[in-house]
Structure 1
Amino acid sequence: MASTEINNYITKRYERWLDYSQYYCGLSGISDEAMDVLNEVLCSLLQKSDKLLNRLLEKKKNGYAELDFFVLKMIKLNATSPTSPYRSKYRSLPSDDNVDYTKLDIEDTKEEIVDKNELLLSRFHKVQAVLEELDLSPLARRIFEFRFLEDANFSDWPGKESLKQLYEIYNKVQELIRKKIVGESIF
């Protein structure tokens, strides 16, 4: 909760800040929203900690409190930047005052919902099926199953093969499966 001193200062400076807001809102083509911009800035300001607000109020520069500069900067930002908090919250959709939106025919379309888990599972099964079709050595098949199907790390491999050998064999099997799947245009 803002202190009485902060509230009094805001009340005292409000008209000047509103003039500043009207100026920048006018430049941005939203002159009728100057008060809304200022009020949004003040709402945001009052959510800051009392400690910060008091520090901004006490710090003076050229006869003005640092709080003035902070508020003016926020007003300018909210009035002019298309990605500002004010514009994101209140002006996200452009509108045309000459259009009666209640008389427009809006097509109801259903969005296609993609079940990512189902897609991954079907691809996983496809890889398994292609793996079964390939004429691989038992070692190559076991290495691929160990890494891909069991999701194990080669550092835990029980055999005597080096990491380099394991990755070479795994990558070759992976490439064979990829070529087979791409050749069938499955994905």
Structure 2
Amino acid sequence: MASEAVNNYITKRYERWLDYSLYHCGLAGISDEATDVLNEVICSLLQKQSELLDKLLDTKKNGYTELDFFVLKMIKLNASSPTSQYRSRYKPLPADDNVDYSKMDIEDLPDETEDKNADILAKLHLVREIYESLDLGDLAARVFEFHFFQDGNFSEWKGPETLKQLYEIYNGVQELIRKKISGESTAFSFKL
């Protein structure tokens, strides 16, 4: 983590570095990305060792620090070099400026935004309706209701039944409902 002196220096010099970034990004044709380039450089800078940053800050040359020269060099490199870290990470999609998009045959697909919550609710109502129409015994009804509708965990079941028995009962009721939904014959009942 950078020292407080380095953080204060970055805050103090940010506007000047941004001007430099605006200039070089303008030359590179990406002037609207100047702030992003500078922020990327600062993020990369702050990931360096604290000792190195302090050393760069303490080394003065012509009224500037080595930290200034390092940041300016990285801004110029990230703005101008197509293989730089910033340019390769945020590479724009290739586009053909010679294409007349108004003459292209683009299929307009209908907006198929489905209401997933309404779909889940409808399915839940269907399961509830089938569950209530089944001829279930008291235990089977309580087990299914506890696990399916109340989202209860069988390890918290208050009763003498074992986990194996509870799962067998639940799976049996679930199978009856599945068969009823698919239209299979459900002439048998599940009484317990």
Structure with greater Cα Rg = 2
Structure 1 CA distance, aligned partners of 2:178 and 2:120? 15
Alpha carbons 1:131, 1:177 under 8 Å: kept? yes
Partner AA of 2:86 in structure 1 = N
Moved more, 111-120 or 172-181: 172-181
Measure the CA separation in 1 of the matches of 2:114 and 2:146.
Answer: 29
Is 1:40 aligned to residue 36 of structure 2? yes
Q: Could you tell me how far apart the structure 2 residues matched to 1:12 and 1:120 are?
A: 54
Structure 2: 5+ residue stretches without partners = 1-7, 185-192
Q: What is the identity, as a one-letter code, of the residue corresponding to 1:79?
A: R
Equivalent residue for 2:87? Answer: 79
**CA-to-partner distance for each residue in 1:18-75, whole Å, 9 max, x for gaps?**
4xx89xxxxxxxx9535555553025557x6xx989x676443xx9645467657855
For residues 34 and 146 of structure 1, do their structure 2 counterparts lie closer, same or farther at Cα, with a shift above 3 Å needed? closer
RMSD: 4.5
Structure 2 partner of 1:178: 178
TM norm structure 1: 0.56
Count, aligned residues: 158
Q: Give the equivalent residue in structure 1 for 2:144.
A: 144
% of aligned pairs identical? 41
* Structure 1 gap ranges (5+): 23-30
Matches within 5 A, 1:93-112: 94-101=94-101, 109-112=109-112
Judging changes above 3 Å, is the alpha-carbon distance between structure 1 residues 153 and 33 closer, same or farther for their aligned structure 2 residues?
same
Query: Residue type matched to 1:171 in 2?
Result: N
Which residue of structure 2 aligns with residue 154 of structure 1? 154
